[in-house]
């Protein structure tokens, strides 16, 4: 089991919920967040959030899921991002879980 975390601008909330379901991840959580990017952000983080003086209205989704479902989610996200016309792609990370109750 691993923890998958996905961030997205508010415009794509419904689509990301559908991506989780397509990947077989039926249980996930969603939080409102504000994304910020310093004007001095390093290149590896550019594009994570839009450059704005205020925070970008964003969402964070997360779920504890099996690797096969996470792999399917990443594939769905890759396809989704390849069709975007904006520079605010869906971002995802996976965190291994060493113990859980």
Judge whether 100 lies within some domain: no
- From the list 20, 91, 95, 92, the residue with the least C-alpha distance to 50 is 91
Flag whether 37 is in a domain: yes
Residue 69 located in a structural domain: yes
* 101 belongs to a structural domain: no
Which tens digits make up the pLDDT trace of 8-50?
A: 999 999 999 999 999 999 999 999 998 777 666 555 555 555 4
The answer to whether residue 99 sits within a structural domain is no
Instruction: Give the domain CATH number at 64.
Output: 3.30.70.120
- How many folded domains does the chain comprise? 1
Q: Distance between CA 74 and CA 93 in Å, rounded?
A: 9
Q: Reduce the secondary structure of 34-83 to three states and give it as a string.
A: EECCCCCCCHHHCCCCCCCCCCEEEEEEEEEECHHHHHHHHHHHHHHHHC
| pTM recorded for the entire structure | 0.81
Structural domain including 10 reads 2-94
Extract the tokens encoding 21: 């379901």
In terms of Cα–Cα distance, which of 80, 100, 1 is closest to 92?
80
């Amino acid at each position: 089991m691993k923890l998958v975390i996905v961030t997205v601008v508010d415009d794509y909330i419904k689509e990301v919920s559908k991506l989780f379901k397509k990947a077989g991840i039926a249980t996930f959580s969603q939080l409102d967040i504000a994304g910020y990017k310093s004007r001095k952000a390093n290149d590896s983080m550019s594009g994570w959030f839009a450059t704005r003086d205020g925070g970008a209205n964003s969402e964070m989704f997360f779920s504890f899921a099996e690797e096969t479902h996470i792999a399917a989610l990443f594939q769905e996200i890759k396809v989704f991002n390849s069709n975007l016309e904006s520079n605010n792609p869906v971002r995802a990370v996976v965190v291994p879980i060493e113990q859980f109750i």
